[in-house]
Structures are given as C-alpha cells and as structure tokens.
Structure 1
Amino acid sequence: MASKFGIAIFLSLLVSTAFANNNEVGGQTRLTGAQQCRFERLSASQPSQRIESEAGIIELWDEFEEQFQCAGVAPLRKVLQPDALLLPSYHPNPRLVYVQQGEGLLGITFPGCPETFHSESEQIESIRQGRSHQRIRGGEEQERVMRGQEIEQHQKVHRVRRGDIVALPAGAAHWVFNNGNEQLVCISMNDLNHQANQLDHKFREFFLAGGVPRSGQQGYQRGQQSWQKGQQRSMRGGQQDIRETFQNILRAFDAELLSEAYNVRPDIIERIRRDDERGLIVNAREMRGILKPDEEEQYQRQPRNGIEETYCSMKIRTNIDNIREVETYSREAGKINIVNRYKLPILRAMDMSAEKGKLYQNAMTSPHWSVNGHAIVYVTRGQAQVQIVDQNGQSVMNDIVNEGDMFVVPQYFTSTFRADRNEFEWVSFKTTGEPMKSPLVGYTSVMRALPLQVMTNAYQISPRDAQDLKINRGGESFLLSSGRRS
C-alpha cells in the first residue's frame, strides 16, 4: 500500500514538473523562434476565408497577414446554429477560446485519462439479437442484455456559456454541441509559435469526421489578389501551401486496416470513411437531452492515483465576465478583467492569457506597452480610436475600429484606445500566461516614477509642468475617464 502511495506521489510530481517545464521552454521557444515583426502599417482585419457547413460556418483570418505572422497566431471564428454539432478534431498547438454568444456543451478528451463519467443514452444502432457488448476496465468484455438503452462511459462534458474563456491544449480532441436556443459564437486564437507545435508556423486542424464540401468553400472575401499574396508568403521548402480543405483524416486509411484495428464490420468502416457533404458542423437534434454537463454527472467513486487531480480533472474554463474578479475598475472610465495562469492554472502550460475590457463613453486606456507578449485584440462591441506607435516614433496605426475587427498590438509597441460616444468592449488574447503592462499615465506609470529633475531636463519644461505630468491623473491608473485640461 505504501509503495503504491509513493508511486502515485512520484507520478503526480512528474506531471506537475512536465507542465512547469513546458511553460518555461515555451517562453524560450517563443523568443528564439518568433516571426519577424517588420511592418510600416497595422490595420483592423476581418475574416478572409469562410467555410459553410450544414449547421454553421467557420471563418478564418489570413494567418499569413504580417501582423498575425508577427504574433505567431492564427485566429478563427465558429458559428453554430441551435442543435448543431462541431465534429471532433484536434490541433497541434494550444488554443484559447472566447465564447462571445450563446451556450453549449464541450467535450474534451485528455490522452491517457479514464472515462470516469457515465450517462444513460439510447443506443445509436438497434440492439442486434437483443444483446449489447460493453468493454469494461481491465481488458475484459461482458455481454449485457439491454432493452433499448445502455450505460455509456466518457470523459467530462463541460457546459460553456457567454463570457467563458476556454483553454484547449495541443493534441486534445474536442467537440462542441449547441444545446441553446440561439447561435453559439466562439472566437479562437491558435498559438502557432508554441513549443508544443513542432511542425511549422502554419495553421492545421485534424478532423476525425466530416469534411468541407466543394460548395461550402467560399474562399477569400478580399479577392484572388489577397489569396495569391498569402500563398507567396507561405512558401515552404520550394512548395506552395494550398488552401485548407479540412477533411476527415480517417478517410485516407485502408479500409481493411481500420476494420481490423477497430474489430468491426467493413461496412461500418466504409461509413466513417465516406465523403460527408454536411461539412464540419452538422445537425444533431437527437443529442438534446441526452448529454449532460459535468456538474450534473455523477463521478464514479474509484481510487484516485493523483494524476487525475493534476491533469485529467484539470479546470479548462472560467468566465471573464465575472464582476467579482475584475482586475481594474473605474466608476468613470470602465473595467478590465484578466484571465491568467493564476486564475486558470492550465494556462501555465499553454503560456497564453486573455483580457476583457470595457470603456465608458469617451474614456480611454493609458498609453502603455506590453512587457512580455503580443496582444491580439478582437472588438466585441462599439467603436473606438486606436493608435499604436513603434520604436521609431512612427504611428503604425491610427484608425477607428468597429465590432468584429481584429488587430495585433506587438510586444513593446505603445498603444492606446479611446471610446467614442458609446461604450467600447474588446477581448484581447495574450501570448503569455502572465501578462504585464507598463503605463505612461496614472499612479503606476513611468512618468510618476521619474524624478522631477529628469523630466524637466528631458522635456525642457518647468518644474510645475513636470509636476502636472506626474500627478494630474494621480487618482487613476490604467483606465482614464473623459476630461481635458486647458
């Protein structure tokens, strides 16, 4: 008994150490393998590729656009209609997801973890000869006579809703079902530059079912010229990358080989290998009322070995709209909530984070720079003026952005947002698990920390004017209320 306990502790520490090392190595890889950030102009970007399916759409931003290559990311947006199922897939890079609208169920499969949850579900196939086979732990197989129903085991099913930040680790297969009454809209950020992805800096997603029908590939909305530029930038080893078609990976395997691997009839293999004109998001009305989220499942009481507590049962989501966890709040200016590796520990391994911001009428953020990561900003509501300045003192962006726009604020570039007459909201994905900012205005700013004599000599101004620069926003920090001093 003591030896088993010792082994459990050792394995638990091993998994924890692996996550810690993953985070450290990920940071080093990001710095040494980062894309070139050389551009004269940044601009708000809209999705450039649209893939239509039976029950929803997938929209992709151009990953070869210079600002996304600089950050090493690939953004996409998925829209699921009610009763729609996003078919199972996995990807070679960590992904952070923001649920912009709706609610649904998310299933995620961690490799090597047991199917510790169970639910009653109707059999998909009629019970042949009145019998059903169920595989149980230990490698044994027993036959149970079931009258139309069976007990089915699976890993956790999570409930996701508007405002959730969801972490999807690299290589973990997942699916999504919209069991709500409105569209489920999810904004995803793929970190292509993470050390978990050892392929290249190109977006890939491996689907276990479905496929993109030819009629559903709408192509680039910005025209053929934009697509040709993207292909020219995607030259790898003398070959051009082609547009993604996202087909079922099982369809290319030999049918006889799969039949033997699964130990099922050949006709079943033919069904999972066939071309599916429904696309990647399909209608699945029969799932409503069958699947249940984890808070309604009953966890089977079985011996815990320590690994489940650190990996298999790891928390993958938190709600960024939770007012109790707001990081920065100003009654006159707005509020900001941050989800980092402390609020969501799985982000230690993914080395990503997110920020949800809201500016009130005419309020603005302090001009600031990010110390340890890029920020990819997605506008969720309203309109604002955005200005970004590079190391040469040149403005690389001074535009009005609107809902649905996305843009990158590169690391160390100084930026500020100013809302118009209405409120402005955004979600920012960060390429670091512990984001840090250095503001130029407010009581935590660089100006506030400088000696008065340094400021008077640096700017050739009077001590009184220098003091005004230091303290006129003394009661405010990162969020600045509307107001001008003449």
Structure 2
Amino acid sequence: MAKLILSLSFILLFSFTLALREGSWQQGECHLSRINAREPTFRLEAEGGVTEFWDHTNDEFQCAGVSIHRHRINPRGLVLPAYHNAPVLVYVVRGRGTLGYLISGCPETFESSQESQQEYYEERGEEGRSHIFRDKHQKVREIRQGYVFAIPAGAAHWTYNNGEEELVTVAVQDVANYANQLDRTPRSFYLAGNPLRGQQQQEGRPREQRGLPEFGNVFRGFKVRPLSEAFRVDEETARLLRGENDTRGHIIRAEQGIQFVSPTLREEYGRREGQYGRGEGPYYTRDNGIEETICTAEIKENLDKPSRADIYNPRAGRFSTLNSLTLPILRFIRLSAARGVLYRDAIMAPHWFLNAHSAIYFTRGECRMQIVNHLGQAVFDGQVREGQVIVVPQNFAAVKQAGEQGCEWIEFNTNDNAMMNTLSGRTSAFRAMPVDVIANAYQISREQAERLKYSRRETLLFSGSSSRYERGRVASA
C-alpha cells in the first residue's frame, strides 16, 4: 500500500512538473483582466547600433512565455556572435544583411580557392616565403526585408548589415519553450566583446526590477592561461577574448567591411535554375523530405511576397502563414509565424488560436483591435500602431480593423502549427452550425439566422464599408 501511494505521488508530481514546463496556465499567469499595446522600455546603445527591449516581466509576456527585442543595426554594423537559452524567431522589418548561423560539429561548407584569394597573398618570415590565406566557414545566409528566420536554442549566430540603410529586425525569444531548461529569464551568451557596456547608462530602478534580459561575454569568466592553452595563442590574445576593455558594446562597426565566402548573384541564380528545373520555381522542389539535417536545414523564408499569401482578398488584403509544414525547422523549435496586410477600413474576422499564444508586432499603419477573454470581457479595446507589440493569449478572441492608412503586422505563435478558428466568414464556426441551432441560441427567426450564417462570403479578410482595390499597394508589395 505504501509503495502504491509512493508511486501515485510520483506520477502526480511528474504530471504537475510537466504541465508547469509545457504551459503557464498552472501558475495563473494568464488570468488577465487587461492587455496593453506595449512600446520598448529599455535601449541598449552600442557603437554600431542599438537594441530595444520590451519588459518581459509584464503580465502579457509572462502569460505567453516570450521575450521581445528589436535590433537597429547601422550600415557596416555587426551584432557580435551569441547564443540564447531559448529558441528565437526573427523578422526583418527593414534593410538587408547577412546572417551567420553556427552549429558546432557541422562542416565548414563555404571555402575559398587559391584563384579567388589572391588578394590575401602575404609575405611572411625572414626568408620571404609566400603564404596564401584560404578561409573556411559555415554557410552564411542573405536576409532582407520580409524574411523570417529561426534560431534554435543554443545555436550561435551573428548578423551583419552590408546594406546602405539601417537594418531593423524584431525577435521573439520563447522562454517557455521545452528547449529552455532554465527559468523564464531570457539569457544571451555572447562570444565576444563587452555587451554589458551600455547597462551602466541605465538609471532608476534596480536591474532585476527593470525586466531586462541577462547577458555577458562567456569568455570573461575564464582565466587567461586556460584560454591561452585552449586556443594555442599568447596571453595577450587570450585577454582580448575576454573583452574587458572593449567599449564598443554588443553591436560593433566594421570600418573596413567584412569579407566572407559567398556565391555571387549569378551563381545563386544558376544554382536555383539547376535545382528547380527550367521554368519552375521554389514551390516545385523535388525533395523527398529527408534531405535536411541539423547542418543543412533551411532556416529562413520570405513572408512578404504577395504571391505567397495563403489568403488573398483584392478588396481587403492578404494573410501569409509560416509553419513546420513550409519550414521544417519550426517543428524542432515549436514556433510559427504569420504576416498580415489589411487595406483601408478592411477587417480581419473575429478569430482565436486553438493551440498557441500570439505576440503581434505592427510594422506599418494602425488599426483598431479588440481582444475578449473567456469571461466575455474586453481586455483590450483600442488603437495599435507601428512599432507596438500586443499579446493575444491562447483561445482569447480578437478582431482587427485597419485605419485610414491600412495596417500591417507580423505575428509570432508559440506552436509550430498554430491553428485558427473564425467566428464569421465562409469557414467559420457559424457556417458549421445548423440554422435552427443559431435561431434558438440567439432567439431570432429562422430567416434572421440564415442571414447571420451566410452574411459573409469571404474567408478571413473582409472589405470594410469604404475599402477598395488598392492596385498600387499590391503592385509595390
């Protein structure tokens, strides 16, 4: 009997722990009576740009288990290599650049030949021996406006702005993810520099009360001699790894630019033509589903292409989704994304997500938005505009209506295959109900129930009272 009680206690304890790790509802963190559209609360300035953080201790972010930050990287700015304690999903708001995605143990697949590296010809040694430097590194990826890319927990990465304008990215770190076995504090482990430099500029409340992520250079905690021996370098070089006297911050400026091995545009075009066949496109790949490994997985996708939209209404806008079926690495990090565009006065049908929280970042314009909880209370009813973030918890119903200038957003979902239900429209819950059920439920006539059921023929995006086909908007997108 004692063994049975002990076994049941163990099962209950294990179930409670699992539930606690998989979701936040056990902790009562999603009992929200009010949700706000949030602005960044802290700026960390550096030589090559600035990073803005949203306070992850706010109730909405605690409910969704996410932390959000935005990089503003100047031309020739380099975000120093770092890895995080939780997976990250990033959207490129503006500009273009290069992403380095580093997986230890994977081969260096980009390498320079002797013919392409004559500029590295150097004279070395007292006898005048010549040496030609050939670089090798893991694959680098081009990123530009509209791209979403995924970074697994613990995968180091760097970002470089090789364009002529500011590179702006917004990132969601899923600290409630199964891959994070620490607590829900977002942590960044830098492999260079002194990212703490900008924190001394912050005034006011103690650091633990400001909702800041925690970060620092991991080499700084090691002694100089072990580093010197591990890398087989002199102690002065080992000290530089620690970044103690580095005042540039976490985003540095590469004055002379950065060179790396990368295909030319012509080579890239030829590779794609050969891979997909003449006259075909990227949606006609001949992959059999087993080619990707952790070393070769595709990690990015362009969500801004109008032709990629899952739902399109020429009088209302478009909606594009990105999940583990279209980008398989998302199955590994258990996140997904969607891109929404609403034209003037257009409406996105009232809807809810069955299996995910949503963190929505607005990239252009403004819209009126309402969010309703399980008690029928409007926890948010107001305007949201460019640069703001709002969280919609799982199963909370939401509706959007664009303003005079339209509205665009990117939403990050805490499930690799987020599923949506709508309350109105051609595929909604109303369309699935018999007319008599609607009539009796709302105490209306059968004719009224029919009109209610079939009032909207569109699927998700509805034209507003003054919406019209914006030919210029579609052509320029």
Q: What secondary structure is seen at the aligned counterpart in 1 of 2:30?
A: coil
Match of 1:7 in 2: none
Q: What secondary structure is seen at the aligned counterpart in 2 of 1:344?
A: coil
- Tell me by how many angstroms 1:286 deviates: 2.5
Cα pair distance change 1:131/1:209, threshold 3 Å? farther
Instruction: Choose the corresponding residue for 2:105, options 112, 125, 134.
Output: 112
Match of 1:478 in 2: 460
Match of 2:57 in 1: 64
Match of 2:276 in 1: none
1:258 counterpart letter in structure 2: L
Instruction: Kindly indicate whether residue 148 of structure 2 is the aligned counterpart of residue 165 of structure 1.
Output: yes
Q: Give a deviation string over 1:393-425, Cα, whole Å, max 9, x none.
A: 100000101100001000000000101111100
Q: What secondary structure is seen at the aligned counterpart in 1 of 2:63?
A: helix
Match of 1:100 in 2: 93
Q: What secondary structure is seen at the aligned counterpart in 1 of 2:92?
A: strand
- Tell me by how many angstroms 1:130 deviates: 6.8
Instruction: Choose the corresponding residue for 2:245, options 275, 298, 304.
Output: 275
Q: Give a deviation string over 1:174-230, Cα, whole Å, max 9, x none.
A: 11111000000010000001111101111000001111354565538xxx4xx56x9
Normalised by the length of structure 2, the TM-score is 0.83
Contact 2:350 2:398 in 1 (8 A): yes
Instruction: Choose the corresponding residue for 2:23, options 2, 24, 31.
Output: 31
Q: What secondary structure is seen at the aligned counterpart in 2 of 1:456?
A: helix
How many residue pairs align between the two structures? 426
Distance 1:78 1:404 in 2: 12
Distance 1:78 1:406 in 2: 15
Instruction: Kindly indicate whether residue 120 of structure 2 is the aligned counterpart of residue 129 of structure 1.
Output: no
Q: What secondary structure is seen at the aligned counterpart in 2 of 1:362?
A: coil
Contact 1:116 1:154 in 2 (8 A): yes
Cα pair distance change 1:156/1:130, threshold 3 Å? farther
- Tell me by how many angstroms 1:38 deviates: 1.4
1:79 counterpart letter in structure 2: R
1:31 counterpart letter in structure 2: G
Q: What secondary structure is seen at the aligned counterpart in 2 of 1:205?
A: strand
Distance 1:359 1:233 in 2: 35
- Tell me by how many angstroms 1:116 deviates: 1.8
Match of 1:52 in 2: 45
Matches within 5 A, 1:233-252: 243-244=212-213, 246-252=215-221
Q: What secondary structure is seen at the aligned counterpart in 2 of 1:257?
A: helix
- The one of the two structures with greater contact order (alpha-carbon pairs below 8 A, sep at least 6) is 1
| Greater CA drift, 190-199 or 210-219 | 210-219
Cα pair distance change 1:167/1:215, threshold 3 Å? closer
Distance 1:378 1:131 in 2: 61
Match of 1:445 in 2: 428
Match of 2:339 in 1: 356
Contact 1:52 1:217 in 2 (8 A): no
For structure 2, the 5+ residue unaligned runs are 1-17, 272-288, 467-477
Instruction: Kindly indicate whether residue 182 of structure 2 is the aligned counterpart of residue 199 of structure 1.
Output: yes
Contact 1:48 1:59 in 2 (8 A): yes
Q: What secondary structure is seen at the aligned counterpart in 2 of 1:167?
A: strand
Distance 2:304 2:41 in 1: 29
Distance 1:348 1:483 in 2: 40
Cα pair distance change 1:175/1:214, threshold 3 Å? closer
Cα pair distance change 1:117/1:92, threshold 3 Å? same
Distance 1:319 1:181 in 2: 21
Q: Give a deviation string over 1:75-126, Cα, whole Å, max 9, x none.
A: 0000110011111000121100000011111111112111121136699998
Contact 1:216 1:279 in 2 (8 A): no
Q: Give a deviation string over 1:151-182, Cα, whole Å, max 9, x none.
A: 11110011111100001111111111110000
Matches within 5 A, 1:216-235: 217-219=200-202, 224=204, 231=208
Instruction: Choose the corresponding residue for 1:420, options 372, 384, 403.
Output: 403
Q: What secondary structure is seen at the aligned counterpart in 2 of 1:111?
A: coil
Distance 2:121 2:333 in 1: 39
Distance 2:221 2:431 in 1: 63
Contact 1:374 1:430 in 2 (8 A): yes
Matches within 5 A, 1:252-267: 252-267=221-236
Distance 2:385 2:330 in 1: 29
Cα pair distance change 1:34/1:190, threshold 3 Å? farther
Cα pair distance change 1:33/1:322, threshold 3 Å? same
Cα pair distance change 1:53/1:393, threshold 3 Å? same
- Tell me by how many angstroms 1:30 deviates: 2.6
Instruction: Choose the corresponding residue for 1:328, options 294, 311, 329.
Output: 311
Match of 1:292 in 2: 262
For structure 1, the 5+ residue unaligned runs are 1-25, 133-144, 235-242, 300-305
Cα pair distance change 1:88/1:110, threshold 3 Å? same
Match of 1:302 in 2: none
1:373 counterpart letter in structure 2: A
Q: Give a deviation string over 1:323-348, Cα, whole Å, max 9, x none.
A: 22210000111100111111111001
2:324 counterpart letter in structure 1: R
Q: Give a deviation string over 1:430-464, Cα, whole Å, max 9, x none.
A: 00111111100001011111111111111111111
Match of 2:71 in 1: 78
Contact 1:348 1:433 in 2 (8 A): yes
